[in-house]
Structure 1
């Protein structure tokens, strides 16, 4: 078995040469990213950190934010109330599909597509937009262990170009899935997507989910353990856009991607893993990151149903890296 840090270095070296894919351009600010940025971070539930590459490079969290806002909404409303507004069914449609609402209930299909994420964000509580934003930022800070900021140029860029998201919000308003001011809801949604993170931050956020909601570095309870199963289940079935089924087949662990190039994944009770590279495939997922995760899953038996290797292989790799 290859020691984990050595394997990460090998993967970073191998896939640095992979130059296919394009940086996201439909949000103008994202098009400014350096396509050569590349990082891999692992944070264990014991607080151990193994990283290679540009793991301190800042970028906007984008759709990965949906995971943590969903957790926040679960804590506020509980699973049954939240299910009345947003379903948990996978869909093979792109993340920004316009018209996919359940024919009977008019709910968005799941909280990881844009329509479901907007509906989820609309359920956050607070006395006005400023308080709701502050509560959102405090939630992220519990996961990353430091103050977080919104990248204003990206927020403005998303607000100016977010016509499809506005159309979704108006459709859900028509069906009673949103009952707040649409402009305020969308501003908060665009702000959550524009929160700045690093690959290290994402790995720590994933490790917090792996650790029953407790940040393994700070010891802070970021989310109730009562909802970890809910969060990881939706990540597993819906977290990778319209690549979710193939991800479950090939990699086999809960994950979420974002169009800025990040993917985080959770190995329950063991570690969080994050990879960052802005070169995307046609589904909006990082090409290098997918390759890294496939190799990690194969080498260390991470797949949930890989009974031949079990989780002891990865546990041994983490221990040997310490």
Structure 2
């Protein structure tokens, strides 16, 4: 499989960055409204150690829903497959990621998958720890092991902004608590969840996380198994079927790699046996995916023949 080179990356980003005007920065989280739509960055971390990048590569963004992949990996490692999927389902959905309607019709009212908000909240509720700080520390610890950078932390302003405006997520939590899907304090769960979503890093750091999944859960630096390969495969499968919200089918057709997006404008992609790609562009389409990110990954996939299909 052909490595990604710097010259190609720069040219492709130049072609797609003009699409930023076709979308809109997320404004329902007040702290994210400050992001400039023309911002753009991309990094590709090869599993052989080489990283190529272009754009505002030192800019730190919050990973938002990309964190759902990491919390799922931790829940699987802590509790196993049977326990995790007794709380959440395995099926994609055509509903928006914030939908409550499927909880009302499903039995036993469990979320359809771990990548929608309800499912991610149920997964975060499963994480071991005496309080929210313990659980956030567990997620950060995994990120530190993967990236080799223990300075990565959450953005306190974004976390506070999300917590104070999480009215819909509170509704999802109380509905699931009423039906026995989650337990304990809803406010503590939301404190954990908003902090995990507010974890902040740049594209090169995030691309290294993608590369770990491309390397079947093994560290690029030491070869150590950080996430068991079976659990890594489960995470990548959900990224293919559910990772791009209710545009996952279209993304699978046009790009064809496991990927997860976040409403900050980030997309994390995994190219098996080659590496991880992270794209940032805060201007979003109507389904909550980065306009620049979608265009760039479509170009890269076509050029390098990435599609797993």
TM-score, length-normalised on structure 2?
A: 0.95
**Residue in 2 that maps onto 1:14:** 15
**Residue in 2 that maps onto 1:89:** 91
- 2:246 maps to 1:245: no
2:193 paired residue among 169, 185, 189: 189
Once the two structures are superposed, what CA deviation does each residue of 1:103-133 show, in whole Å capped at 9, x if it has no partner?
Answer: 2221101110000000000000012333222
In 1, Cα distance between the equivalents of 2:42 and 2:255? 16
The number of residue pairs the alignment matches comes to: 305
In 2, Cα distance between the equivalents of 1:122 and 1:2? 39
Q: In angstroms, what is the RMSD of aligned CA positions?
A: 1.5
**Residue in 1 that maps onto 2:149:** 146
Once the two structures are superposed, what CA deviation does each residue of 1:139-158 show, in whole Å capped at 9, x if it has no partner?
Answer: 22122221221111111100
- 2:149 maps to 1:114: no
Contact 1:45 1:270 in 2 (8 A): yes
**Residue in 2 that maps onto 1:62:** 64
**Residue in 2 that maps onto 1:312:** none
In 2, Cα distance between the equivalents of 1:300 and 1:77? 38
Aligned-pair distance for 1:2?
10
Aligned-pair distance for 1:220?
5.0
Contact 1:62 1:195 in 2 (8 A): yes
**Residue in 1 that maps onto 2:208:** 204
In 1, Cα distance between the equivalents of 2:220 and 2:149? 14
**Residue in 2 that maps onto 1:32:** 34
Where do 5+ consecutive residues of structure 1 fail to align? 306-322
In 2, Cα distance between the equivalents of 1:171 and 1:74? 24
Contact 2:3 2:46 in 1 (8 A): no
2:175 paired residue among 165, 171, 176: 171
In 1, Cα distance between the equivalents of 2:4 and 2:50? 14
Aligned-pair distance for 1:3?
6.7
Once the two structures are superposed, what CA deviation does each residue of 1:18-67 show, in whole Å capped at 9, x if it has no partner?
Answer: 22211110000001012111111100111111111112210111000001
Contact 1:40 1:53 in 2 (8 A): yes
Residue aligned with 1:146, SS: coil
Contact 1:110 1:116 in 2 (8 A): yes
**Residue in 1 that maps onto 2:162:** 158
Aligned-pair distance for 1:16?
2.2
Where do 5+ consecutive residues of structure 2 fail to align? none
- 2:101 maps to 1:99: yes
**Residue in 2 that maps onto 1:227:** 231
Residue aligned with 1:122, SS: helix
In 2, Cα distance between the equivalents of 1:129 and 1:162? 16
Contact 1:232 1:254 in 2 (8 A): yes
Residue aligned with 1:272, SS: strand
Contact 2:93 2:246 in 1 (8 A): yes
**Residue in 1 that maps onto 2:289:** 285
Is the alpha carbon distance of 1:178 and 1:3 closer, same or farther for their aligned partners in structure 2, counting shifts above 3 Å?
closer
Contact 1:142 1:220 in 2 (8 A): no
**Residue in 1 that maps onto 2:271:** 267
